[in-house]
Amino acid sequence: MRPSFHERGALTSDFDAIRISLASPDKIMSWSHGEVTKPETINYRTFKPERDGLFCAKIFGP
């Protein structure tokens, strides 16, 4: 297994270039998946999103 970025202590001098590009519509569609299975949104006591609810980070990301 390759060591992660933080384990190696990589420096900016380790990189020659970075390439940034827009994602294609097909790639975006491949990332999108998930299903809201509960009607709840936010827990009124903790103000955190309910799991599998409308604002679930597992479904829609953080």
The confidence score (pLDDT) of residue 16 equals: 85
The confidence score (pLDDT) of residue 20 equals: 95
Q: What is the DSSP letter of 14?
A: G
For residue 40, the one-letter residue type is E
The confidence score (pLDDT) of residue 55 equals: 85
The confidence score (pLDDT) of residue 7 equals: 64
Cα-based angle 50, 23, 61 (whole degrees, multiple of 5): 10
pTM of the model: 0.42
Q: Are 58 and 38 in contact (CB under 8 A)?
A: no
* pLDDT digits 0-9 by tens, 3-61: 666 666 656 677 888 999 999 999 988 887 788 888 888 988 998 888 888 888 887 77
